[in-house]
């Protein structure tokens, strides 16, 4: 078993990059007091817009920006409803998932009949893949930790997740900080979508995120809203997913369904505080 885990590690590291980026984005948003259930839809939209941008330009970099743009558009909708209109975040997030699922399915089918689809999706090289893995597993976590825990901006951002009225009373705008968090989340989730459709697969498919956004939500809890915790959580989920392939290769695909359920059960247990006290941001999910 140990051997299998070690063998599946490389796959786990690369295959869970989109998940990790999404988790990092969601960490920032939740620290600012927003629970973005629509992260699944955000990633799905980014995956599609990344493919379009890459196909039109023939460039991976353009694809990345295309993904980020798509995620930003979704973030704008989420922010408009949840920050501006102070609508419930859960309801808004649910609507955004349905919106993205429906819209990407519809638009993708329409675009398949258009000219840009003649062009092929550019390929991400091995060197680039390594760089992406290093950036998402090492560079971004360090940057996020510094930002959240060692800057004045990060302090205020976290205060927005704890007690927004205290921030408002001392001057800075809660809405501005939440928007900023949302933009950071969108950039990361946009990159996640782009990595999913350009690096992990070469093209878009309907509902291709297949629950990664929800898994990301789970991992943020698993990691108890801490950077180290979410890295560990992503590794656990990533290894479980990678083992699935190993088991399939050994013709034991039956077990992988049960295996896949295990991280969720573990997250459930973590939510119940089995492994110590969980301290979620106090105003998570509430309006300012």
Q: By three-state DSSP, how is residue 34 classified?
A: coil
Contact yes or no for 42/213 (Cβ under 8 A): yes
Q: Does 209 bind other proteins (CB under 8 A)?
A: no
Decide: is 275 part of the binding site for other proteins (CB under 8 A). Answer: no
228 binds other proteins (CB under 8 A): no
Give 116's DSSP letter.
G
Stretch that binds other proteins, among 42-50, 61-69, 94-102, 192-200 (CB under 8 A): 94-102
Question: Between 54 and 93, how does the x/- string for binding to other proteins read (CB under 8 A)?
Answer: -----------------------x---x---x-xx-xxx-
Map residue 182 onto helix, strand or coil: helix
**CA atoms 47, 37, 140, 200: torsion sign:** negative
When asked if residue 267 is in the footprint of other proteins (CB under 8 A), the reply is: yes
Q: How far apart are CA 152 and CA 180, in angstroms?
A: 14
Q: Examine residue 159 and tell whether it contacts other proteins (CB under 8 A).
A: yes
Span near other proteins by CB under 8 A; candidates 8-16, 26-34, 54-62, 150-158: 150-158
The conformation of residue 82, written as its DSSP 8-state character, comes to: I
Does 131 sit near other proteins (CB under 8 A)? no
Per CB under 8 A, the segment of 67-75, 119-127, 148-156, 189-197 that binds other proteins is 148-156
| Between 13 and 77, CB nearer to other proteins | 77
Residue 219 in the binding site for other proteins (CB under 8 A): no
Find the binder of other proteins among 5, 135, 205, 271 (CB under 8 A): 271
Spell out where 145-259 has E strands. Answer: none
Instruction: Tell me the two tokens of residue 192.
Output: 């996640």
Using rule CB under 8 A, residue 96 touches other proteins: yes
Contacts of 57 (CB under 8 A, 6+ apart): 63
Q: C-alpha 105: how far from its chain's center?
A: 20
Options 131, 134, 155, 176; binder of other proteins; rule CB under 8 A = 155
Q: Which of 116, 139, 143, 146 touches other proteins (CB under 8 A)? A: 146
Angle between helices 126-134 and 2-15 (to 10 degrees): 100
Q: How far apart are CA 58 and CA 217, in angstroms?
A: 33
- From 8-16, 43-51, 53-61, 253-261, give the range in contact with other proteins by CB under 8 A: 253-261
Token pair listed for 237? 């989920």
d(C-alpha 208, C-alpha 219), whole Å: 19
What is the C-alpha to C-alpha distance for residues 147 and 153, in angstroms, rounded to an integer? Answer: 7
CA distance 172 to 176: 8
Give the nearest distance from C-beta 133 to other proteins in angstroms: 26
For other proteins, which residue of 138, 142, 143, 268 counts as binding (CB under 8 A)?
268
Classified as helix, coil or strand, 92 is helix
Residues making contact with other proteins (CB under 8 A): 35, 37, 77, 81, 85, 87-88, 90-92, 94-110, 146, 150-152, 155-156, 158-159, 162-163, 165-167, 169-171, 206, 211, 214-215, 217-218, 221, 253-254, 257-258, 260-261, 264-265, 267-268, 271-273, 279-282, 285-287
């Amino acid at each position: 078993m140990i051997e299998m885990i070690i063998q599946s590690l490389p796959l786990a590291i690369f295959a869970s990059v989109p998940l990790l980026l999404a988790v990092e984005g969601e960490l920032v948003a939740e620290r600012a007091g927003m629970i973005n259930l629509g992260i699944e839809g955000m990633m799905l939209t980014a995956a599609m817009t990344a493919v379009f941008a890459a196909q039109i330009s023939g460039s991976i970099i353009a694809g990345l920006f295309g993904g980020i743009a798509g995620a930003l558009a979704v973030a704008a909708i989420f922010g408009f409803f949840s920050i501006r209109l102070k609508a419930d975040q859960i309801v808004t997030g649910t609507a955004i998932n349905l919106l993205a699922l429906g819209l990407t399915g519809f638009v993708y089918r329409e675009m398949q009949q258009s000219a840009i689809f003649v062009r092929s999706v550019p390929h991400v090289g091995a060197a680039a893949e390594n760089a992406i893995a290093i950036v998402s597993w090492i560079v971004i976590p360090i940057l996020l930790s510094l930002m959240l825990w060692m800057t004045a901006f990060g302090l205020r951002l976290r205060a927005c997740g704890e007690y927004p009225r205290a921030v408002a009373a001392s001057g800075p705008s809660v809405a501005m900080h939440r928007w900023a968090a949302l933009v950071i989340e969108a950039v990361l989730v946009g990159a996640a979508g782009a990595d999913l459709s350009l690096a992990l697969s070469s093209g878009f498919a309907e509902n291709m995120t297949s629950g990664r956004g929800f898994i990301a939500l789970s991992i943020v809890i698993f990691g108890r809203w801490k950077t180290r915790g979410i890295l560990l959580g992503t590794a656990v989920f990533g290894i479980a997913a990678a083992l699935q392939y190993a088991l399939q290769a050994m013709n034991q695909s039956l077990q992988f369904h049960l295996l896949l359920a295990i991280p969720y059960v573990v997250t459930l247990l973590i939510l119940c505080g089995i492994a110590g006290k969980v301290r979620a941001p106090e105003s998570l999910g509430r309006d300012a």
